[in-house]
Amino acid sequence: MKDFLGLTGKAASSVYVGYFSNSTCGIYLVPGWNLISIYCEADNMSIANVLSSLGNNYVSIHTYDRYDPSDKWKAYKPGLPSWVIQDLDTISLNQGYWINMANNDTLGFDGELKYPRIIFLFQGWNLVGYPSNKTNLVNESFIDVITNLDSVHMYNASDESDHWKVYSPNFEPSQNDLVNITPNYGYWVRMNANDTWMVDE
């Protein structure tokens, strides 16, 4: 079900049976900036609930929302006065998030793993999640959008020698140091045209 009428102008050509299972998410976070995503869907996806296991160990969390042309960056910072308007209050499995940590900690909570997931990709930059608990080859995971894909970027906060990894179908294989799409990471995806990405396992 790669294409949806309205985004690409093409109707869905296939039907996939949904898959549901109970799952536990655990994401190890290091001090400073971490680029993450979450694949467990809880009944309550508010930031207060999803990030409750971190207590006071995170400084702020941010995402980039291509759906809002007037204000793409959304943020939440705990501990601000109640009169401060914060424009990020829930976590989406389809989004990637920058979270700034004060200390090492593990983000953990229970939820459901649901397939398939459809992520709309717009021309230009998209900050997306990877709503799967399975590691897949990046070129296979993005095969349905490969003709419109410019590049995929991952930030690994734990890799002190080389935080950024990149994959592009236009590079020679030896130039790509992003080989796998891995659970718990967020991804910057640059598109040459609008498309839809299906994560189906």
Contacts 24+ apart (CB under 8 A), 116-119: 116/1, 116/16, 116/18, 116/19, 116/198, 116/199, 116/200, 117/93, 117/198, 117/199, 117/200, 118/1, 118/4, 118/196, 118/197, 118/198, 119/94, 119/196, 119/197, 119/198, 119/199
CA distance 57 to 146: 38
Within this chain, do residues 105 and 47 fall inside the same structural domain, yes or no?
yes
Within this chain, do residues 106 and 126 fall inside the same structural domain, yes or no?
no
Q: What is the pLDDT of residues 137-185, one digit of tens each?
A: 999 999 999 999 999 999 999 998 899 999 999 998 889 999 999 999 9
Within this chain, do residues 51 and 94 fall inside the same structural domain, yes or no?
yes
Indicate whether 7 belongs to any domain: no
CB neighbour list of residue 96: distance below 8 Å, 6 or more residues apart: 35, 36, 37, 63, 64, 127, 128, 129, 185, 186, 187, 188
State yes or no: pLDDT of 25 exceeds 70: yes
CA distance 101 to 76: 13
CA distance 6 to 44: 29
User: What is the pTM assigned to this prediction?
Assistant: 0.88
From 52, 85, 111, give the residue that closes a domain: 111
From 68, 83, 111, give the residue that closes a domain: 111
Within this chain, do residues 31 and 73 fall inside the same structural domain, yes or no?
yes
DSSP state of 28: E
Q: What is the pLDDT of residues 30-81, one digit of tens each?
A: 999 999 999 999 999 999 999 999 999 999 999 999 888 888 999 999 988 8
What is the residue range of 56's domain? 19-111
Higher pLDDT: 45 or 24? It is 45
Within this chain, do residues 77 and 129 fall inside the same structural domain, yes or no?
no
Average pLDDT over every residue of 128-134:
95
Nearest to 185 by CA among 123, 135, 118: 135
Apex CA 26: angle with CA 41 and CA 163, to 5°? Answer: 110
State yes or no: pLDDT of 12 exceeds 90: no
Within this chain, do residues 31 and 101 fall inside the same structural domain, yes or no?
yes
Average pLDDT over every residue of 15-36:
82
Locate tokens 């897949």: which residue? 136
Indicate whether 87 belongs to any domain: yes
